[in-house]
Structure 1
């Protein structure tokens, strides 16, 4: 099973992977800690101490990864102040961060299926019906499509914008 490489991509030796979007995404959010912090953001965590505790990392590691996620644009810092306390920052998902939802929960779905006994400790379900929810590749019409039925082609809009290489 593999996706189909079409057009000039069919000859894999004739093109470079330097601009690979998967590689760029992994540079931005590819550490275990970053993904666990994103999981916590999706679960509603906003405060630094809660992120560090829930992710099971030191304050230094949490600070470094949260800073990275803010720099990339996945999270934003927003100041808050509780009465009698100093001003602190909370961390909120940006639209860029919210767009990671399918990727984060596809990893959860994969882990539940392949790495956990009995489907894992948590399940994604429809909030109203309780029906199971899955992350899958779909056409614009909403039809699920198997990886072997997907073709990868050159994005001409990207080429026009990126210019000659």
Structure 2
């Protein structure tokens, strides 16, 4: 059973301020971080405009395709990802471009997120989880492995099962 201090420690990761150190590339062969970098760079250059931006976006499209193949992830260039995102094992991750992912989230392998989903800050999503309706997932929530989420998940709770049931934090 968790003590109060352990629960409090879990919530010390911000649901508002992105921790960019989580996405920092520490070595070249870091596929999930390279995939995120290609997306971030593409979005940055796309806003700038001009000839240099045109060339940079084309280069980032190529890098994005390369890292998408390497990781086996389907994360579009125009998706809305909050800073500090961690993709521990990005294989099989599918995110719809109209889904919104909050800051400092953690997503494991084989996760599917469909159109209209709004994920708050510091949400952990377990391996194989499917979010298959346009729902809202609150800050500091956790989605269990292989859960199928079809309804909103309140702040600070855990959703597990098929269909997912909400468990309050201890």
TM-score by length of 2: 0.28
Higher-RCO chain (CA-CA 8 Å, sequence separation at least 6): 1
Report the TM-score, using the length of structure 1 for normalisation.
0.29
Whichever of the two has the greater Rg, that structure is 1
